[in-house]
Amino acid sequence: MKESNAQTQVDVTVADLPLHCPMPSTSLWNSHPRVFIPVEESGEAKCPYCGTEFRLVKESSTEHASLSDAKT
């Protein structure tokens, strides 16, 4: 099931970049046009259409380890 577009704060990781809103997991029936969100510089950004706040979080060490293992 797709999540509602009413969510106001979303944590994202480097894997989600380049970031755009609406994200693939949001419902399309009440979405706005896709806009790219520049979260890389400050670590936080807000969608100008819906006001959703995005926060770039660092990946955990276990996620990093599994990504390293996948590359070898």
- Give the pLDDT of residue 63: 47
Nearest to 12 by CA among 51, 44, 50, 34: 44
Q: Which residues contact 34 (CB under 8 A, 6 or more apart)?
A: 20, 21, 22
Q: pTM for this structure?
A: 0.68
pLDDT, residue 53, reads 97
Tens digit of pLDDT at every position of the chain (72 positions): 445 555 689 999 999 999 999 988 888 777 899 999 999 999 999 999 999 999 999 876 544 444 444 444
Q: What is the pLDDT of residue 68?
A: 46
Q: What is the pLDDT of residue 6?
A: 58
